[in-house]
Structure 1
Amino acid sequence: MGKRQFSPSPLTVRQAHHPELRRGTSAPSRLSVCVFRTPWGWMGVSETAKGIDAVVLPQASRQAVLSELGLPLAQRQKGRISPRLCEARAQLIDYLSGTRRSFDLPLDLSRGTGFRQKVWRTLLRIPYSRLRSYQWVAARVGGRQYARAVGNAVGANPMPIVIPCHRIVAHDMSLGGFSCGLPAKRKLLTLEGTLQTLRGKQS
């Protein structure tokens, strides 16, 4: 009797081809961070040698921002803030003040898998005051069958606001989810003038 051949189960096949399970590049070392006040609360940004790699949405305290960045609560900024972090801070404050609609910053996406980077680059194409669905993104990164994987990638976005995941809503135009909480998403959509599009459809 010949040697029995292994036949992978349907689950194994799906896993082998699932874009979320493909290996991404190794995460680079973080160079420095900037924690700062805005009219909405405390925010933070960090950078690597390649560019901005993380943004923390407004928090109640500086300590909360440091915690989100994975840094010790007692850590303090040492030395001068880099020009790139200064520019990121200025652009974020301008956005929250309603005087900026787009960002011009070098970004380091290498903490994500290849699939997640593709999703994040697609989110960057969504203009200010426009809404798109998870299915819209999925159709541009491999097919609508990847809508769930797209949802995971959107939820893992390391640079909210700059990479505008808040502009993604459910296919039925309900609010959908947001990793930073729905109150923050509503506030951002109100700033951009699109929340009224969803009113009456938010369950």
Structure 2
Amino acid sequence: MTLPMDTALDAGLKSALAAGEDEALARLHTRLAAGAQEQDLLDVAYTVIPSPVGELLLAATPFGLARVAFGREGHDAVLEDLALRISPRILEDQERLAEPVRQLDEYFAGTRQVFDLPLDLRLATGFRRTVVEHLSEIAYGATASYAALAALAGNPGAVRAAGTACARNPLPVVVPCHRVVRSDGTIGNYLGGSDAKRTLLEMEAAA
């Protein structure tokens, strides 16, 4: 008989806490992740990885990578937002994020210039989604102005809206809003902070 997830969770936690071992908690977490996946109870899997631009939270649905979040966004707040906007059935599961983690490691090592990942873009809607869909057309090591991006998205007059779309891009780094700069060549604002944006641009320019 299969125990309900919360019953299994209570029993497992009591066992792990009684043992007082990190290893026991790790085994419990692995069982819960496997059980959630087997019973189709996991809608959002996430993990947190180190990077040259700080810790990144990666979250994916069965449809693809849905969120990349910088530490300055507050990872707890990001998870709460995902619970509200996608599903509360969220669990840390690094195995489900193995491919995005691998490709990001290659990108930061300078051996990958293009990401090849399924993406779930449900967090971007309307014109903002159109803008996000065109961001990957800006080549590695190149930059484009917000005006050029608005034109690329089919609305040359929507420069401010293009900027807002970049600021709210749910998949920074993977979907390269860091390659969009101001018309005067200055880097402009960035969700991960100006230092992170500068780091990414300098890394790509040096490749």
Which residue of structure 2 lines up, in the alignment, with residue 36 of structure 1? 49
* SS class of match (2:49): strand
Residue 53 (1) aligns with residue 66 (2): yes
* SS class of match (1:121): helix
Residue 104 (1) aligns with residue 103 (2): no
Residue 89 (1) aligns with residue 96 (2): no
Residue 130 (1) aligns with residue 142 (2): yes
Which residue of structure 1 lines up, in the alignment, with residue 170 of structure 2? 158
Residues 164-203 of structure 1: matches in 2 within 5 Å? Answer: 164-193=176-205
* SS class of match (1:145): coil
Per-residue CA deviations over 1:130-166 (Å, capped at 9, x if unaligned) read: 0001111111223221001111111000110100000
Check the 8 A contact 2:45/2:92 in 1, yes or no: no
Residue 144 (1) aligns with residue 132 (2): no
Residue 70 (1) aligns with residue 80 (2): yes
More helix by share: 2
Could you tell me which amino acid in structure 2 is paired with residue 167 of structure 1?
Answer: R
Give the 3 Å change call, closer, same or farther, for CA 80–147 of structure 1 in structure 2.
closer
Give the 3 Å change call, closer, same or farther, for CA 35–77 of structure 1 in structure 2.
farther
In structure 2, distance between residues paired with 1:181 and 1:67: 17
TM score, norm. by length of structure 1: 0.69
Check the 8 A contact 2:44/2:91 in 1, yes or no: no
What is the root-mean-square deviation in Å for CA atoms of aligned residues?
2.6
Q: Could you tell me which of 119, 129, 144 is aligned with 2:131?
A: 119
* SS class of match (1:135): helix
In structure 2, distance between residues paired with 1:169 and 1:79: 35
Check the 8 A contact 1:39/1:97 in 2, yes or no: no
Residues 9-28 of structure 1: matches in 2 within 5 Å? Answer: none
Check the 8 A contact 2:65/2:120 in 1, yes or no: yes
In structure 1, distance between residues paired with 2:169 and 2:54: 20
In structure 1, distance between residues paired with 2:183 and 2:44: 39
Check the 8 A contact 1:132/1:169 in 2, yes or no: yes
Give the 3 Å change call, closer, same or farther, for CA 143–79 of structure 1 in structure 2.
closer
Matched-pair identity in %: 37
In structure 2, distance between residues paired with 1:95 and 1:66: 26
Could you tell me which amino acid in structure 2 is paired with residue 177 of structure 1?
Answer: N
Could you tell me which amino acid in structure 2 is paired with residue 51 of structure 1?
Answer: G
Query: Can you give the 5+ residue segments of structure 2 that lack an aligned partner in the other structure?
Result: 1-41, 82-89
Could you tell me which amino acid in structure 1 is paired with residue 126 of structure 2?
Answer: G
Check the 8 A contact 2:47/2:92 in 1, yes or no: no
Give how far 1:47 is off.
0.8
In structure 2, distance between residues paired with 1:131 and 1:183: 16
Give the 3 Å change call, closer, same or farther, for CA 79–53 of structure 1 in structure 2.
closer
For these two proteins, the number of residue pairs brought into alignment is 158
* SS class of match (1:144): coil
